Each structure stands twice: as C-alpha cells, then as structure tokens.
Amino acid sequence: MQFIVKKNVQAFGFMLIALTTILAWSAPSVAPERVPQRVLLGMTSDPAHSQAVTWRTTVAVAAPQAQIAPCSGNPVFGNTATTVKATSGEYTTSSGAKVVHYEAVFSGLEPGKQYGYRVGDGTAWSEWFQIRTASDKAEPFRFIYVGDAQANVKSLWSRTIRNAFMSAPDASFVLHAGDLINEGFDDALWGEWCDGLGFFGAMMANMPAVGNHDMNLPEGSGALPSAANPLWKAHFALPQNGPADTPLLEDEAYWVDYQGVRFICLEANAYTPEDYDPEARKIAQAKQIPWVKSLLENNPNRWTVILQHEPMYQVGKNADNPELREAFLALYDKYHVDLVLQGHDHVYARSHKLAGGKVVGDAAPGTVYVVSVSGPKMYPFNPVYADLMKKTIADTQLFQIVAVTGDHIRLNTYATGNEWVDGFELKKNKDGGSVLSELSKP
C-alpha cells in the first residue's frame, strides 16, 4: 500500500512538472489578425547602440510593443528582455482596407553584440529574430546592394534577393537603390516585396533610396507626387537626420556612419525629369545640396558611399539627368566620394574611375559609379556614355556583395544563378584617394 501511495505521489509529481513545462513553452492562441506581419529591420543613425523595426497588423492592437535581449543558444534569454512601446499609424490601403503600421526603436544597446528581438502586443508576438549591432570601430563588414526590384517582385525578384541573402548571410544590411515596386501606392505590391525578402527582412537591416515608382500616385488622382507614398514611411524606420526642417525628405534623405564608411542616401528624383510637384521639387533640390556638402566636408570616415536612384550617367533607355550632375558631381569629385550605387536604368553598368565627367587613371582621384538591376524588368544598354563604362551587362537579374575592410572595398556582382560576372577593388591611399583594380574572381 505504502508502495502504491509512493508511486502515485511520484506520478503526480511528474505530471506537475510536465504540465508546468508545457505551460511555460506554449503560447495562448491569439486572433490571427493581431499577429505581426511584414516585420522589417530598419536603420538608425547610431547602429552600434540602437536598432529600429517596423511591422503591421490588419487590426489596431491595444499595446503595440517590442522586446529585445542579448541572446545566445540558451532559449530562456527572453526572460531578461527589455520592452519598448511602439508608435502606430493607421493607413487605408489601395483596396480600401484599414491596416495599422508600427515602429519601435531599441536604444542603449552594446556595440557588436548579438540580440534577439520580437514585436507584438504583449500576447500576439512575432518569432524572436536574431540580429547583431554594429561595431563602434572601423571593423570589416559586408553589405548587399541591389538595383530596381520593381516588377514581378514576388514571382521573379524573390529568387535574386534570396540568392543574395544566402551568398552573404553575414551581411550587415541591404542597400536598395529604389523602385522597390512598380506603384508605390499599391499595398498588395508592398506585400509582395516583403514576401520576397521573407524572414531576412527582419534580420538584415534595409536601407532604401526612393525611386520614381515609389512616388507614384494612382492614375486620375489629379496631383503630382511630392514625396514617396505614405506606405514608404509606414514600412521603413530610417535615420531621422536629413536636411533640417524638411518633413518631405524624412525617410528619404538620410545618412549613417557604419564601421568606417559614411553612407549617404539621396532623394535623387527631384533632379530628374520625373513627375514631381513643382513646389516640393524646389524644396528637395535646394535643401539636399548644402546638406550633402556638409556631410562630405565633415566626414571622419575613410570611405564614402552614396546611394541614389537615378544614375549620374544614363545607361538605359531613361532620360539623361544633367541637373543631377550639376547638383552633385563637383561635390563628389571635391570630397573624394569613393562609390556611387544607383538604379533606375534596368541594366548593369560599372564605370571606370571618373572625375569631372571624364575617365581618369585608376590611381587618380575619382569615383566609381555603378548601376544595377535585381528585378526582371530590363532595358537594353544605351551606349550614350559607353566610353565612361568599364563593364556593362544587359538582360540579367543581379545582386552585389560589397566587402569593406580597413584599406579595401571590394564589390562583386553576381547573376541570380550565383554566377560571378564582375568585380573590382578600391584600395585606399594615404591622401584619401584610392587605387582601382579589376578582380578576376570574387
């Protein structure tokens, strides 16, 4: 009898432990519309100490929030998580549905450290995403750069960006050179773009430049665009350090210093023949030039990279952009901008070292300009500036992996099948210039 009682007590104990374990590791079921969608990691002006994230739900949740904690293989890291409140904004999609977008900023993080974060409302959560903060020193890193995604984003762009992710899973962020989708007002296309990124969109920071298609308004709206569609700002958390007192350029013109490189993202549409509200164009044109000048003049980093949608030199069927050259070429030359990464022309073109609109020696002061395309919409190569280009490729979906070390930047270009198609290296000089050389393999 005593034996039976002892056995029963033992069995009860085991059941209790099992029940406690199950309760600890299972979440209550929640309404699916409260579950976060489109979780996108953004960028802040201090990526060594902060991170920003956006997401959305199809109903408003009562307490939007995000949690973050240093993480390792031990699964209970969430117990020490810090919770931050999120801001929210309601949007009506092009199909008339109401959705709510959220943004949360994690601050006080340690440089070069691995964290887990999740977003939600306290009971409906995303999964934990693992990220790493930037180092606060000029340490080596890699990033991905892609040209226009724009068309057939889910069916055909996804393979390119996913190949890029698999080729450089350690990349710190992705530079998207604009025209992310064909119609910036179309929420369904935004959904396709986020689907294309998949979970990587939440783990690798996104730094986009606004393309002309990202500004598009619905046909018959009777207005010209004055900024990217509001859905742009809803989807991206980006450094709030553009030209002062210029709300139109928020989330469009910004910069970040990342481990020895100054990245400047321009709103370049204002300097091109693309549709633009005249007053807004005037403001964007006037405000960005002194802003860029000041960022180039007061740059403590060894390297400078510019991201802009429209290219300095036309290489596709698009119109030429003399106003863009007039606005920035002399500044890029004077302050030794190393690399200008561009889109818009739906073709690949990588320049020689250029200064003053002319080819200069590989060791002379100057800049390398790259246009690329990642989606399936293609234009033939337009030879008007063929003399300035070292390498051109048409009809190919491409991605670039850029590696930065103290003395070198190496940019390698791959076709979507992972075939290496182009590559070059810039080696930094003591005087701030660089020596350009060809790579024969990655």
User: Residue numbers of the site for Fe ion (CB under 5 A)?
Assistant: 148, 150, 179, 211-212, 344
- State the nearest-atom distance from the C-beta of 178 to Fe ion, in Å: 6
Both ends of the chain: CA-CA distance in Å? 76
Q: Give the nearer residue to Fe ion in terms of CB position, either 51 or 212.
A: 212
Q: Which tokens go with 394?
A: 């048409």
* Number of residues in the chain: 442
Q: Give the nearer residue to Fe ion in terms of CB position, either 318 or 434.
A: 318
Q: Give the nearer residue to Fe ion in terms of CB position, either 121 or 183.
A: 183
- State the nearest-atom distance from the C-beta of 110 to Fe ion, in Å: 39
| Residue listed under structure tokens 């990217």 | 228
- State the nearest-atom distance from the C-beta of 274 to Fe ion, in Å: 7
Cα(130)–Cα(53) distance, integer angstroms: 13
Q: In the bound complex, which residue of the shown chain has the CB atom lying closest to Fe ion? A: 179
- State the nearest-atom distance from the C-beta of 442 to Fe ion, in Å: 27
Cα(267)–Cα(48) distance, integer angstroms: 25
Cα(372)–Cα(205) distance, integer angstroms: 20
Q: Give the nearer residue to Fe ion in terms of CB position, either 387 or 395.
A: 395
- State the nearest-atom distance from the C-beta of 211 to Fe ion, in Å: 4
Q: Give the nearer residue to Fe ion in terms of CB position, either 344 or 350.
A: 344
Candidates 149, 154, 159, 208; CA nearest to 181 is 149
- State the nearest-atom distance from the C-beta of 179 to Fe ion, in Å: 3
Q: Give the nearer residue to Fe ion in terms of CB position, either 158 or 212.
A: 212
Q: Give the nearer residue to Fe ion in terms of CB position, either 178 or 239.
A: 178
- State the nearest-atom distance from the C-beta of 346 to Fe ion, in Å: 6
Q: Give the nearer residue to Fe ion in terms of CB position, either 272 or 412.
A: 272
- State the nearest-atom distance from the C-beta of 171 to Fe ion, in Å: 23
Q: Give the nearer residue to Fe ion in terms of CB position, either 179 or 252.
A: 179
Q: Which tokens go with 229?
A: 């569609």
- State the nearest-atom distance from the C-beta of 155 to Fe ion, in Å: 17
Q: Give the nearer residue to Fe ion in terms of CB position, either 342 or 367.
A: 342
Give how far Cα 147 sits from Cα of 60, 200, 300, 375, Å: 34, 18, 28, 8
- State the nearest-atom distance from the C-beta of 436 to Fe ion, in Å: 27
CB atoms within 10 A of CB 50: 17
